[in-house]
Amino acid sequence: MGLSRDNKKMNSILILSGGMDSATLAYHLKVKKHNIHAITFNYNQRHKKEIESAKKVAKNLNIQHTILDISNIGNMLKGSSLTDDIATPHGHYAADNMKLTVVPNRNTIMLSIAYGIAVSEKSDIVATAVHAGDHFIYPDCRESFIKSLESTLQLGNDSKIELYTPYINYSKGDIALEGDKLLVPYQDTWTCYEGGDKHCGKCGACIERKEAFEINNIKDVTEYL
């Protein structure tokens, strides 16, 4: 899960959602001079607007970008407000109702596809911006899970390709702080779980985003409703 071969030019597959975490990770890898192939998944999320943000980030960085339509899979992963006709819960992530935003096995599916592409392209790492703020609600963002998945994927492919998760123990505030130093254009990123034109400012994802900037006295360039 670390990055053990930092001295050579690395080839990275990056899961780029278009949110601020994966956008920051894209800049992080670019600074390390990785060859980056970013993969964005359309799983029929309500907040498809993040895909447009992913395109902007990839264009800013001039990196290879593939948008994979797995909406037919997403349509079968029922029970989440991100994909189903269930109202988006408002309030802090810690609140019980944020469990409504869990899409069954989403990270395993995305990371498995990305890993297959990495094997195929002989990449060195698969990078994903899971962070500590996700741990409480999402079991597939915890370090124990990522470690278990990494060893499963290596076993299943006789492979040494690593999962690279530098933010696994970062808060979202820590990510914003790194992104501020890397001059990530956060106006080009999308966080809100609602399907609107502007960030709602009220869903768990928006609240976490706002606080990440506030806590570090970073100017929040997001346009909220």
Cβ proximity to a second copy: between 117 and 218 the closer is: 117
Nearer to a second copy, 116 or 201 (CB): 116
Query: What is the distance between the alpha carbons of residues 179 and 100, in angstroms, rounded to a whole number?
Result: 29
DSSP output for 81-132: TTTSSSPPPBS-TTSGGGGGGPPTTHHHHHHHHHHHHHHHTT-SEEE----G
Task: Write down the least CB distance from residue 142 to a second copy, Å.
Answer: 8
- Shortest separation between residue 53's beta carbon and a second copy, angstroms: 21
CA proximity to 112, closest of 157, 158, 46, 48? 157
Helix (H) or strand (E) holding 68: strand 64-69
Nearest in space to 190 (alpha carbons), one of 38, 54, 40, 74: 54
The whole-angstrom separation of Cα 123 and Cα 193 is 31
Site for a second copy in 49-78 (CB under 8 A): 66, 68-70, 72-73, 76-78
User: Least Å distance between CB 154 and a second copy?
Assistant: 9
Number of residues that bind a second copy (CB under 8 A): 39
Q: Which residue matches tokens 């498809």? A: 48
The interface mask with a second copy, positions 87-126, x = CB under 8 A, is: ----------------xxxxxxx--xx-xxx-xxx-----
Reference 76, options 43, 49, 46, 47; nearest CA is 43
Nearest approach, Cβ of 107 to a second copy (angstroms)? 7
At its nearest, how many Å lie between a second copy and the CB of residue 179?
27
Residue with smaller CB distance to a second copy, 117 or 182: 117
Site string for a second copy, 140-159 (x = CB under 8 A): x-x-xx--xx-xxx-xxxx-
- 131: tokens are 């962070």
At 14, which amino acid appears?
A: L
Q: Which of residues 156-215 bind a second copy (CB under 8 A)?
A: 156-158
Shorter beta-carbon distance to a second copy: residue 120 or 217: 120
How many CB atoms neighbour CB 122 within 10 A? 9
Minimum CB–partner distance for residue 132 and a second copy (Å) = 17
- Give contact residues for a second copy (rule: CB under 8 A): 66, 68-70, 72-73, 76-79, 103-109, 112-113, 115-117, 119-121, 139-140, 142, 144-145, 148-149, 151-153, 155-158
